[in-house]
Amino acid sequence: MTIDRAFHSEPGAPAPEAMRERLRLAEDRAHEAEARYDALLEQLPVVIYTYSPKLDGPTYYMSPFVETLLGVSPQLFLDNEEIWDELIHPEDRERARVDYESYLRTGAPEGGEYRYLRADGQVVWVYDRSSTIRDADGNALYIQGVMYDITPTKEAELRMQHLAHHDQLTGLPNRAMYEEHLGLALARARRDGLAVAMLFLDLDEFKSINDTHGHPVGDEVLKQIAARLRSSIRDTDLVARTGGDEFLILLADLPPGADGDVAHDTIASVVMRLTRALEQPLVLRVGELVVSASVGWAVYPFDARDPRGLFRHADEEMYRRKRERPRATPIAPRRGA
């Protein structure tokens, strides 16, 4: 209500000048406060939004920073109720929806981390925190939320996690990650009556390669071997480098068969693929080099029933096979390949 309307609601009733001035000052202060609030929202490096307390409801307000963060104008959020689902990363869409449904029912979780995809393909990590604004009777009026850009922090965290669980030279999972997956596989096997196989692979005469050609060539051998092992196993298997020239392969969720015969057939098939992959010469700066490997294995629940027992059995089998095979000489490469 304007000042003039306030004082002319009754025709012929003039407003006292002092009252008119106080109302004018109050109106000016309200306008200034609103202007300061709008200016603050425009400067804050966060996205502030107001959303319907109903699932798939409209967006009532979106602060300008959303255009900087996600490359989409605030007005598009007001005009398109599906824009949230369109922008969120496909792999996070279902989780974000489940979280929001839970929040509407229970008030938890109040926040979550999700990825959004900009039109230019850039992935943006945000922390989205919500609060419910209610009337005097406790009815939800709207949801007010704040989205923070956590991309640098999240990417650094993911890099640290990757380094903690992967071998830096080959990019394969390391022993810590292998043991984590092995524990989960054994738990499933105990529950569902399945078998789990651990394959222990050790390169033959790898020390001679390092001594003859140097560690840079040895590192390249390990990287190429790692790539071949990874391409030779099934999608459901896991290959890890556990140090030096040693690799562990996990075959999980195997049908055991009578006395483990089906599981052993699967192992034999995988070992044959690994052997064939290693038969092909490696193309290196020093020429072509053929590297062989010795493989031992152990099967849960036939050879051992815990990780330590499986590793000990696979390790013993690997060294037995290494002793039985002819001594390899992988240090004389063929040039001109």
Tell me what the pLDDT averaged over the chain comes to.
Answer: 87
Question: Do strands 123-134 and 111-117 pair parallel, antiparallel, or not at all (unpaired)?
Answer: antiparallel
Q: Choose the weakest-confidence range: 8-12, 204-208, 227-231.
A: 8-12
Can you read off the two tokens belonging to residue 252? 């999980």
Work out the average pLDDT over 249-275. 93
Q: Which H or E element spans position 66?
A: helix 65-70
Confidence band, pLDDT 50/70/90 cuts, at residue 336: very low
Work out the average pLDDT over 188-202. 96
Residues paired with 115 in a beta bridge: 125
CA distance 241 to 187: 23
Q: Which pLDDT belongs to residue 335?
A: 47
Work out the average pLDDT over 60-67. 92
Q: Which pLDDT belongs to residue 25?
A: 72
**How many CA atoms within 13 Å lie on the side-chain side of 50?**
8
What's the angle, vertex CA 153, arms to CA 152 and CA 154, rounded to 5?
95
Confidence band, pLDDT 50/70/90 cuts, at residue 274: very high
Q: Which pLDDT belongs to residue 260?
A: 86
Work out the average pLDDT over 214-226. 94
Q: Which pLDDT belongs to residue 27?
A: 72
Say if residue 273's pLDDT is above 80: yes
CA distance 178 to 166: 10
CA distance 239 to 96: 32
Q: What percentage of the chain carries pLDDT values higher than 70?
A: 87
- 107-144 per-position pLDDT tens digit: 899 999 999 999 899 999 999 999 999 999 999 999 99
Q: Which pLDDT belongs to residue 235?
A: 86
Say if residue 175's pLDDT is above 80: yes
Under 8 Å between Cβ of 235 and 287 = no
Q: Which pLDDT belongs to residue 331?
A: 45
Can you read off the two tokens belonging to residue 331? 């240090």
Nearby residues of 207 by Cβ (< 8 Å), 6 or more positions away: none
Confidence band, pLDDT 50/70/90 cuts, at residue 14: low
Query: Buried (b) or exposed (e) across 127-146, using 16+ Cβ within 10 A?
Result: bbebebeeeeeeeeebbbbb
Q: Which pLDDT belongs to residue 32?
A: 63
User: Whole-prediction pTM value?
Assistant: 0.63
Q: Give one DSSP letter per residue of 257-277, joined into a string.
A: -GGGHHHHHHHHHHHHHHHHH
Q: Which pLDDT belongs to residue 33?
A: 60
